[in-house]
Amino acid sequence: MSDRFEELRRPAAVRDPDPRFAAALRASIEEELSRQRALGREEVAPVPSPARVVADRAASAVTAYLAVGDARAAIAWYGAAFGSRLVAEPIVMEDGHIGHAVLEIGGGRIYVSDESPEHHVAAPVPGAAATVSLVLEVGDVDEVLERALDLGAALERAPADQPHGRAAVIRDPFSHRWMLHGPARGSLRRGDRPNGG
């Protein structure tokens, strides 16, 4: 019986790749580089390890992606009002707008970007009805509410104890609607009816 590994023991010979394969590979790389430049990134982003992808997915199955009129101001506001922090440096487009930023907030993550009419991404219209509300779990609803109002949020619903906890609703300065939710201050229990709420 012949040794199946004999081919591996021979000295390596340099061979030119199949010209069709080389052309297809070059076209694929040029297409990806062109796409990255169009997104305002000169370098191809590193591919995350499979472990990092799994860890990121485990953190949240759904992530809110907020479009705002001024992403730099929003990132600063969410940090000051809600204690969020940037996970990494934002991706800045050629025109100076922020194309993507990741914030850790309330034990989860949100994405933030400037609005982008060319991609049909618009910030909420001030004064318009909300189509989405974000729920932020906090330790003290009243404390976070007071800080947010001091920083320019608009109150939509005053804080009140409910059977499920204490809640208040605000609009941030970028017109996104937030429900602040935390432990009840009073003695309401599940099944009790709130006063005023």
- Average pLDDT by stretches of 10, the chain with 197 residues: 65 69 72 69 48 48 92 97 94 93 92 93 94 95 97 97 94 97 73 46
Q: Which residues contact 149 (CB under 8 A, 6 or more apart)?
A: 155, 170
What pLDDT score does 7 carry?
62
What pLDDT score does 131 carry?
92
Residue 46 lies inside a defined structural domain of this protein: no
What pLDDT score does 172 carry?
98
Overall domain count for the chain: 2
User: Are residues 136 and 114 part of one domain?
Assistant: no
User: Are residues 178 and 161 part of one domain?
Assistant: yes
In angstroms, what CA-CA distances link 180 with 1, 14, 44, 151, 162?
Answer: 74, 64, 38, 15, 12
Q: Of 104, 123, 142, at which residue does a domain stop?
A: 123
Which CATH number is 80's domain given? 3.30.720.120
What pLDDT score does 55 carry?
47
Which of these, 51, 115, 68, 59, lies nearest to 87 by C-alpha position? 59
What pLDDT score does 4 carry?
64
What pLDDT score does 1 carry?
60
Residue 2 is encoded by which pair of tokens?
A: 């012949």
What pLDDT score does 60 carry?
53
Residue 20 lies inside a defined structural domain of this protein: no
Domain of residue 93, residue span: 62-123
What pLDDT score does 50 carry?
43
User: Are residues 106 and 156 part of one domain?
Assistant: no
Which CATH number is 192's domain given? 3.10.180.10
